[in-house]
Amino acid sequence: MTSSFFAEKEIYNGLLLSRTIILQELINFLMDYFLELLLGGLTKGSIYALIALGYTMVYGIIELINFAHGEIYMIGAFTALIAASILNMLGLGQITILILASILAIIYSSAYGFTMEKIAYKPLRHSPRLSPLISAIGMSIFFQNYVLLAQTSDFLPFPSLLPEFEFLQPYRHIIRSPEIFILFTTVVVMVLLTVLIKFTKVGKAMRATAQDRKMAMLVGVDVNKIISMTFVIGSSTAAIGGVLIASFIGQINFYIGFIAGIKAFTAAVLGGIGSIPGAVVGSLILGCTESFATGYVLSDYEDVFAFGLLVLILIFRPAGILGKSSSEKV
Amino acid sequence: MLKVNNIQTYYGNIQALKGITLDIGEGEIITLIGANGAGKTTTLMSICGVVPPKQGEIFFRGTPIHNMTTEKIVALGICQVPEGRHIFPGLTVKENLEMGAYLRTDHHGIKTDLEYVLDLFPILAQRRHQQGGTLSGGEQQMLAISRALMAKPRLLLLDEPSLGLAPLIIQQIFEIIRKINSEQKTTIFLVEQNANLALKVAHRGYVMENGTITLADSAANLLDNEDVKKAYLGL
């Protein structure tokens, strides 16, 4: 009788213990899942941020929504793909290929961005605001079809160029090496851009031109040069985004710029269009929202949540999260 | 120094300047007075190349500038303080001043001039790290003049520096204008609605009406002129 009593108690204790363990496991699992979603969201947000910068900077300086900006990102990805294929035949290492392909992508995208501004927007600088907007949509359609004809309509495989880090192996279920690499690259780009805008002469001229173009002219700023520069910088960051995401997902086609462009535009509006920190914050929030919506609700609802968030922001804070508080005195 | 020869300027189809001829000598303070909409600001914008004239010529120290872009004209040494001051609102006071010296590369000279203007307007030294948009109207006008001085201009164009300011501040600013002219030997072209004040600091003056110059004389004579008295001095 006593023995059975002890046995019962032991079983009871055992059950209690296993229940704690299971609970612990569950919590661990939920935590890991949460972290995985969060980091995935941040990664996605980083890519959006690299594209959104171009939207927000161009808007800040000439008040134009450059709808062809997503296509610049797509052209960056395609340039990198072609460059990587050629460099791969030469037998170069993975990191070398990544760096060279990125540089080529930056150069090509910048050239397209620069030319686009000269052809499609500069002649319309003094027209009503609707004209350059329509011109931008035209450029977008043109670029898509140009790549469609010059390349193909199929999805093309993109080599995975992003490095694998050994030390991340134990955390594979939470974050993968490419994601860390994307996050790190984005942070570096953001820091460089901040330094450029805050502390260099060009950066100061860009801010001055954005705030008061006529006065910038009157202190001797070559406004056309500054506007071109803005397009080149925006195109460069978009190209970096294009290379990273293509290498991460592993395939590209001529249409990727449209979707990414719309999302990045949403992020820029979310954060407050015209504001550079706003674009970054908006992008990260958008990326995380999508990630959590996919992870906790339903993957089909990703876009519903993303654009739902946009609608809410536009209703309750139309200037965006970090939108300009006007400190101007007349 | 500056010769404006019969310029005609249009906004679209509307003719704003109907043949303006001006002559500004080295070291002078010249004023241009006239009512609202006479074309005073347009004259300045034409000189700076922001609204280039359709016809006529402008020479600055013998160089034709009527076909030049604004940044080239600024590089020659013509600097404007536009109406409404146009401070860069998101830049700090110091950054605003640095923007004034945008085309200069002599770092040592820029530093000396920065000290000079902060000495001229001590309030700006206090506000050095504040954003331009947060300054009061008078402070903004001081900043606008200082920013122009940072370019070390040979010819300084001032558009309505007294607009919207308290009488005490206006007096202070006109004092400084005289000081800049006598100490730095900067030639000054002053556009004003406050004719009384402008004619008191200027050496010579032009009176403008409907896009044409109607009178040109020494400032003292203009102050005594019956028509000017009636139309612009309110006497």
Kindly write down the DSSP assignment for every residue of A218-270, as one continuous string: HTT--HHHHHHHHHHHHHHHHHHHHHHHHHHH-EE-TTHHHHHHHHHHHHHHH
**Torsion of Cα atoms, A102 then A105 then A107 then A110, to 10°:** -120
pLDDT tens digits, one per residue of B141-188: 999 999 999 999 999 999 999 988 899 999 999 999 999 999 889 999
One-letter amino acid of A142: F
A-chain residues within 8 Å CB-CB of B131? Answer: 327
Fold of B2-77+153-233: Rossmann fold (3.40.50)
B-chain residues within 8 Å CB-CB of A206? Answer: none
Going from N- to C-terminal start, the domains of chain B cover 2-77+153-233, 87-152
Q: Residues of B numbered 22-61 whose beta carbons fall under 8 angstroms of chain A's beta carbons: which are they?
A: 48, 50
Per-residue pLDDT of chain A (330 residues; tens, 9 = 90+): 556 677 777 888 877 888 888 888 888 888 889 999 999 999 999 999 999 999 999 999 998 999 999 999 999 999 999 999 999 898 888 889 999 999 999 999 999 999 999 999 999 988 998 999 999 999 999 999 999 999 888 999 998 888 888 787 777 777 888 899 999 999 999 999 999 999 999 999 999 999 999 999 999 999 999 999 999 999 999 999 999 999 999 999 999 999 899 999 999 999 998 888 999 999 999 999 999 999 998 888 888 888 898 899 889 888 888 876 544 433
Asked if the Cβ–Cβ distance from A208 to B98 is below 8 Å, we say: no
Distance (Å) from the alpha carbon of A277 to chain B's nearest alpha carbon: 14
Is residue B74 less than 8 Å (CB to CB) from chain A?
yes
Q: With 0-12 CB in 10 A as exposed, 13-18 as middle and 19+ as buried, what is A81? A: buried
Asked if the Cβ–Cβ distance from A329 to B135 is below 8 Å, we say: yes
The residue of chain A nearest to residue B81, with distances taken between CA atoms, is: A218
Q: Which of B99, B154, B156 to mutate to test the interface with A (most CBs of A within 10 A)?
A: B99
The residue of chain B nearest to residue A197, with distances taken between CA atoms, is: B91
Q: What share of chain A is helix, strand, coil (3-state, %, to 5)?
A: 80, 0, 20
Distance (Å) from the alpha carbon of B68 to chain A's nearest alpha carbon: 12
Asked if the Cβ–Cβ distance from B135 to A212 is below 8 Å, we say: no
Going from N- to C-terminal start, the domains of chain A cover 55-254
Residue tagged 């300027």 (tokens): B9
Radius of gyration of chain A (CA): 24
Q: Bridge-partner residues for B155, per DSSP?
A: B78, B187
Closest CA to B190 of B175, B209, B204, B179: B204
Out of A205, A218, A220, whose CB is closest to B82? A218
Q: Are the C-beta atoms of residues B54 and B8 closer than 8 Å to each other?
A: yes
